[in-house]
A and B are shown apart, each in its own frame.
Chain A
């Protein structure tokens, strides 16, 4: 599944992710993995809407043992990834915070719900994020145990 996400399109914000979550459930992905994938996709989708220059793509690949979510845009790029990954750090515009977003938890949340999280970004070029979510059932249980 691949979705084109438009910059600033708050009206449809989250609709691709909601669709992804229900498609994953329909495809037989367990509820916990579908929920985690939905959260990762949603945060990524909102990031594309709020921060990207020209929108980007949100792709989902279902593998036998994992769900892969990939986000890509063509700018503006993130100057300091460590800073952007700091909980609470945000450069969100007021219109986004008015809607309940831009609390500086998006990237952190994506990382927390992914088993593998990779982010590459270059100023003026763009950002690419790849997330791997293992299909392991009750992730909360797994986290506690391991």
Chain B
């Protein structure tokens, strides 16, 4: 799915990335716990979150996140938007909940990014 279509689907606004409407969003991971994002994602992914603190973009930068979608009407501060602009990582905001956002995206073909379950982690630990 293209970034511009995704924004329309979830009734979202593109804060960063208007210049990348054709960017393909096909994998996603949703969490508010950034620890889980760091621990479990194993490939480049779109991040769906309700957290708007500066750490979100730092995690996104470290993990080479494709795009960040802020749910539940959370609006990131200007400094975060500026950071995303500098990294060229698209940001989308939506008033929909995380559940609705994930459901809509899944129904339109976006799939879970390759990840490790916490069980696997403790089993092999």
A112 within 8 Å of B by Cβ? yes
Chain B 91-125, CB-CB to A under 8 Å as 1, else 0, gives 00000000000000000000000100010011001
Q: Tell me if A15 counts as interface (CB < 8 A to partner B).
A: yes
Whether B55 and A21, one on each chain, are in contact in the complex, defined by CB atoms closer than 8 angstroms, is no
B82 to chain A, nearest CB (A): 14
Q: Is the CB–CB distance between A13 and B32 below 8 Å?
A: no
Taking A35-B63, A42-B59, A108-B121 as contacts, is the C-beta distance between A14 and B35 under 8 angstroms? no
> How many residues of chain A are within 8 Å of chain B by beta carbon?
34
Known contacts being A13-B54, A87-B121, A108-B125, is A103 close to B35, with CB within 8 Å? yes
**Secondary structure call for the A interface:** helix
The chain A residue sitting closest to B53, CB to CB, is A99
| Interface contact tally, CB-CB below 8 A | 91
Task: Tell me the count of chain B residues lying within 8 A, CB to CB, of chain A.
Answer: 28
The docked-state distance in angstroms from the alpha carbon of A134 to that of B32 is 30
A11 within 8 A of B: yes
B55 touches A38 (CB 8 A): no
Q: Is A18 an interface residue (CB 8 A)?
A: yes
A residues in contact with B57, CB < 8 Å: 18
Within the assembled complex, what's the spacing in Å between the Cα atoms of A99 and B33?
8
In the complex, are the beta carbons of B61 and A140 less than 8 A apart?
A: no
Chain A residues with CB under 8 Å of B121's CB are 87, 105, 108, 112
- The reply to whether A100 and B32 contact each other, CB–CB distance below 8 Å, is yes
- Contact partners of B53 in chain A: CB under 8 A: 10, 99-100
Chain A residues within an 8 Å CB radius of B63: 35, 38-39
Per the 8 Å Cβ criterion, residues 26-81 of B in contact with A are 31-36, 38-39, 42-43, 49, 51, 53-59, 61-64
Contact A42 B62 (CB under 8 A): yes
Interfacial chain A residues near B39, Cβ < 8 Å: 105, 108-109, 112
- A87 in contact with B125 given A100-B34, A109-B35 (CB within 8 Å): yes
A100 touches which of B35, B114, B122 (Cβ 8 Å):
B35
Contacts of A55 in B (CB 8 A): none
10 intermolecular pairs with C-beta atoms under 8 Å apart: A13-B54, A15-B54, A15-B58, A18-B57, A35-B62, A35-B64, A102-B35, A108-B122, A109-B38, A140-B43
Task: List the 6 shortest-distance A-B pairs measured between CB atoms, nearest first.
Answer: A14-B58, A38-B62, A103-B35, A100-B34, A18-B58, A109-B39
